[in-house]
Structure 1
Amino acid sequence: MKELTERFFVAQFGSELPIWAKSAVAMANILVILAIAWVFMSFSSRLLRALNRRVVSQQADQEERKRLDTLIRVVRYIASVVIGAITIMLVLSEMGISIAPILATAGVAGLAVGFGAQSLVKDYFTGFVMLLENQIRLGDAVEVGGKTGIVEEVTLRYVRLRDLEGAVHYVPNGVIATVTNRSREFAFALVDIAVSYGERLDRAEAVIRRVGTEMRGSEAFASRILDDLEIMGVEQWADAAVMVRCRFKVAGSEQGPIRREFLRRLKNAFDQEGIEIPFPSRAVSAKNSS
């Protein structure tokens, strides 16, 4: 484009262009660059908006729609920044300003800012990756950055959790090395049951299995317990009891409520069957010094 414009003016004014003609060539090229940049910016924006409407509208889950919408907004912002940066460099080049010193200065400034804001950059990068990989969603029971709770908000900057006591934790994405998500598809409610050494294990296990079957068959837990109770066997010989380990396959985030209800029902069943629930005891003797 630049060569075509110069050839036109050379044909009109000869081999040596006047100053105003050179300025006109530069201005024409700048206008062409700006027009092309506007076309690319408009096209990319419309394309991403259409993609956003098409992809997001196909998702029934509200939180999945929010995640995809956030990702597409980030991509649109990055595309705008890239197109804008290229446009500025081309315009400066047409104005006769060497961009090499500017790039060098920008590189040094970028390093200085990068060292000062590296934690912030890390937060945003990690947040983008977590959103892209769908590691965390609203309502999930997770452990991140040493904090455990229910996810209330996920942004590019932080994850907001609320724990069992109601405390709210803001965990910067940059400090998250491992995400433990207890809400994906299914989980296991693990229960260790203490049985007295004087009880027959097969009798105790029969009661445990019966309570588990009754609980799964109840209307309140039919959709929350996904499989029959699994008795895994003797876990250890403790000081005062034999520890029998069992577990339920449950829907995500249901481990705690199901474990507590199972222990409540099992206590009543053990009482009815006369099965002793052991507890640590200590014998104290007094010596007569006389």
Structure 2
Amino acid sequence: MSKVGGMLDELSIQITKPQVWIGLALTALFAYAIYRFGRLLIKALTPHIHRRLAPVLKWAWLLTVSVSWLAVATFVAYLPSVPVLFELGRDITQGFRHSAGQLVVVIAMALIAWNLISTLAARIVAEQEFNRRSVRVQTLKGVVESTLRVVVVIIGAIAALQAIGLNATSLLAGVSVLGLAVGFGAQSLIKDVFNGFFILLEDQYGVGDVITINTGQLSGGVERLNLRVTALRALDGTMHIVPNGQIQTVSVSSKDWSRVVAAVDVTYNANLDEALRVLQAVSTELYESPDWRHFFLEEPEMQGVVQLAPDGVTLRALYKVQPKSQWALGREFNRRIKIAMDEAGIEIPFPQRSVNFGANPIEIRLTRDEAAAPNAAQDTSTQNRRRPPVEPSLGRDPEEEEI
């Protein structure tokens, strides 16, 4: 009974010291790191051992780590009156002061840091709505995650070298000289990193944007962006990996706002005033539609007759809309304007060409068989301009030369 009382007296004295609490916290952290490291090894061995042996190994490892931590905690708190645990904790502590023990701790701590970075990055979720904030969050998430992982690897490598007895300071000095020599031959890599840094700093584009690089050489949606490369996904699924240093000009189709160029051609025989009224009606109809109104940033702008082309007269309106909505709105406009022009009896032109043979011209005109073609009433009687037969897609259209 007196022995138990002496142990309690020692514990009550030691537990008031701040350094004891700090030591207990650090040993608990090291114990958890080693436990996770052991679980990772057991997981790797599970496919190669009997299935009933894996749970036994997990429980045995948990018991081993728990008893070891309790012993080390007894030594850290300096409770020599505890019979077995104090000596065991002293032996374990001395063992971890050697190279092998330090190396295990370094690897385990690096493993925890690596998994912690992945866990924290997974909790950063960008908004579902496409805007500049969601673009920056999604982009910086990947950049910060990759940068922190590089830092963990570098610090872990330096600590591991120190643990096995190598002087990391002199080694780093030698590596820096080698790095300077390699740097002269890696100027393109340095250029990639600098360009990537300014792309992120100035928010030129980010993950989720649709861009065209170097005046039409490559186009697609930005799927991944870091300091070195930009990864573009084309509409046909092709992934383009572009070093940032090779990007000279960037055309961003989803920056802040976008525009629909709502253009339609009519024949020279058409009533232009009536065609303009139809264009105005379709534009207003789209603007006031509950399904499309939230995409518009301003009322449609009517530009009128903008071109007298060889095959017809071009009428145009402009819609200022939310970024990345211009393709879906453009497709819906094309559907509605075609039906509206048919209802109004206004013809959209078809190609007419003249071919000359020698001195006498022979005119070839592409015409429709009026007997076979249905009249305007039959064309539009079963069509609902305001409600499409299938739900329209909000996906984008391919940029020039993308597919």
**TM-score higher than 0.5 here?**
yes
Q: Is the 8 A contact 1:144 1:171 kept in 2?
A: no
Give the letter for the 1:138 counterpart: V
- Asked if 1:65 is matched to 2:137, the reply is yes
**CA distance in 1 between partners of 2:346 and 2:137 (Å):** 52
**Which of the residues 211, 220, 223 maps onto 1:152?**
223
Counterpart for residue 143 of structure 1:
212
Q: Is the 8 A contact 1:150 1:161 kept in 2?
A: yes
Q: CA deviation at 1:233?
A: 2.7
Q: Is the 8 A contact 2:311 2:350 kept in 1?
A: yes
Q: CA deviation at 1:77?
A: 7.6
Q: Is the 8 A contact 1:71 1:131 kept in 2?
A: no
- Asked if 1:250 is matched to 2:250, the reply is no
Q: CA deviation at 1:176?
A: 0.9
Counterpart for residue 22 of structure 1:
none
**CA distance in 2 between partners of 1:264 and 1:70 (Å):** 40
**CA distance in 2 between partners of 1:180 and 1:285 (Å):** 43
**RMSD after superposition:** 4.0
- CA distance 1:285–1:173, change in 2 (3 Å): closer
Q: CA deviation at 1:192?
A: 2.6
Counterpart for residue 205 of structure 1:
276
Aligned positions, number: 228
**Which of the residues 231, 235, 238 maps onto 2:306?**
235
Q: TM-score, normalised by structure 2?
A: 0.47
Give the letter for the 1:251 counterpart: Q
**CA distance in 1 between partners of 2:327 and 2:127 (Å):** 28
- Asked if 1:178 is matched to 2:178, the reply is no
Q: TM-score, normalised by structure 1?
A: 0.63
Q: Is the 8 A contact 1:189 1:258 kept in 2?
A: yes
Q: 3-state SS of the aligned residue for 2:293? A: coil
Q: CA deviation at 1:214?
A: 0.9
Q: Which has the larger radius of gyration?
A: 2
Give the letter for the 1:274 counterpart: G
Q: Is the 8 A contact 2:143 2:227 kept in 1?
A: no
Q: Is the 8 A contact 2:296 2:320 kept in 1?
A: yes
Unaligned runs of 5+ in 2: 1-119, 129-133, 159-168, 361-403
- CA distance 1:263–1:66, change in 2 (3 Å): closer
- CA distance 1:248–1:125, change in 2 (3 Å): same
**What CA deviation, in whole Å up to 9, does each residue of 1:246-288 have, x standing for no partner?**
211111011221111101110000001000111122367998x
Counterpart for residue 129 of structure 1:
198
- Asked if 1:274 is matched to 2:345, the reply is yes
Give the letter for the 2:219 counterpart: T
Q: CA deviation at 1:184?
A: 1.9
Give the letter for the 1:256 counterpart: W
**Which of the residues 265, 275, 298 maps onto 1:194?**
265
**What CA deviation, in whole Å up to 9, does each residue of 1:100-145 have, x standing for no partner?**
xx89x967x5564233211111111111111122222221111124
- CA distance 1:129–1:284, change in 2 (3 Å): closer
User: Percent of aligned positions with the same letter in both sequences?
Assistant: 38
Q: 3-state SS of the aligned residue for 1:245? A: strand
Q: 3-state SS of the aligned residue for 1:220? A: coil
**CA distance in 2 between partners of 1:219 and 1:132 (Å):** 38
**CA distance in 1 between partners of 2:237 and 2:127 (Å):** 30
- Asked if 1:119 is matched to 2:193, the reply is no
Q: CA deviation at 1:177?
A: 1.4
Q: 3-state SS of the aligned residue for 2:330? A: helix
- CA distance 1:158–1:76, change in 2 (3 Å): closer
Q: CA deviation at 1:191?
A: 2.9
Give the letter for the 1:183 counterpart: S
